Amino acid sequence: MNSTHIEMNPTHIEIVGVNKIFKTADKEVVALRDINLEIPEGQFVCLLGPSGCGKSTLLNAVAGFSLPTSGHIIANGQKVNAPGPDRGMVFQEYALFPWMTVEQNIAFGLEIKGMGKAEIQDRVASLLAMLGLSDFKARFPKDLSGGMRQRVAIARVLALDSPIMLMDEPFGALDALTRRNLQDELLRIWSELKKTIIFVTHSIEEAIYLADRIIVMTYRPGTVKKDLIVELPRSRETSDAGFNALKRELGQLVMEEQQRHHNDELKMAAVD
């Protein structure tokens, strides 16, 4: 075996020459251009960039909701061509089924899998305990806070035991305290279960706090601007000097793209 790859886990998600073009009646938008990424097993990857940089588009392509116009994605050794429970997704808007209780939401994926009743009960009970939801199991989502809802959504994906977890700005709508709380929770679960995570965010601090690797994307067309490994030891401190140095560096990169986004909007306004 090649010595440089000794510490590298085998590739888990492979994104090869992916382009995504959205066509509307009067124009074409190139959302992703020539994306090539290899993500090893167990890596926590953050996709970072301003809105319109195609980070969610890339995540949706891996999830199988919206396939690439050209190129392909291999996940769990198989070409992605549809959504599936091997790539569990946590949505920003929670996407819990409001007519199901917390317990039923978590059990739903298992019922679809055809798991036996007793086994489902055990699994759901342990997930409820893991995420501190046991006292809320009979509630409907409308009776939960945003943070609690997102815990349920995470538990629902964990129930599937999928090796890959896709997260689309999952904590974007939460207040700062709840957010930090859930970030810590997620890190704990990740270190326990060793999942491969792709996490979309526009928060630089969140990316540094969570990720093994940060991929900064450019504004339209979405390309990889910077692909860096976060070397900071865990658990990380946001007040740390190394943390702040990285924050400045990434801040610079993201601001450049944000500026391009802004200019583009001004141009569009001028056309109108």
Query: Binding residues for other proteins, per CB under 8 A?
Result: 63, 65, 82-85, 87-89, 91, 93, 95-100, 108-109, 112-113, 140-142, 156, 160
* CA dist list (Å): 92 to 95, 174, 243: 8, 10, 26
Least distance (Å) between residue 139 CB and other proteins: 10
Closer residue to other proteins, CB minimum distance, 37 or 96: 96
Closer residue to other proteins, CB minimum distance, 63 or 208: 63
116-149 b/e (C-beta count within 10 Å ≥ 16 → b): eeeebeebbeebbebbebeebbeebbeebeebbb
Least distance (Å) between residue 164 CB and other proteins: 11
Closer residue to other proteins, CB minimum distance, 83 or 147: 83
- Partners of 16 in the beta sheet? 72
Closer residue to other proteins, CB minimum distance, 107 or 224: 107
Q: Three-state SS for 240?
A: coil
Least distance (Å) between residue 261 CB and other proteins: 25
Cβ neighbours of residue 217 closer than 8 Å, sequence gap 6 or more: 47, 48, 49, 53, 54, 55, 58, 223, 224, 225, 257
Q: Which of 222, 257, 250, 246 is nearest to 15 (CA)?
A: 222
Least distance (Å) between residue 209 CB and other proteins: 26
Closer residue to other proteins, CB minimum distance, 151 or 220: 151
Least distance (Å) between residue 264 CB and other proteins: 27
Unique residue bearing structure tokens 């588009």: 57
Rounded Cα distance between 111 and 115, Å, is 6
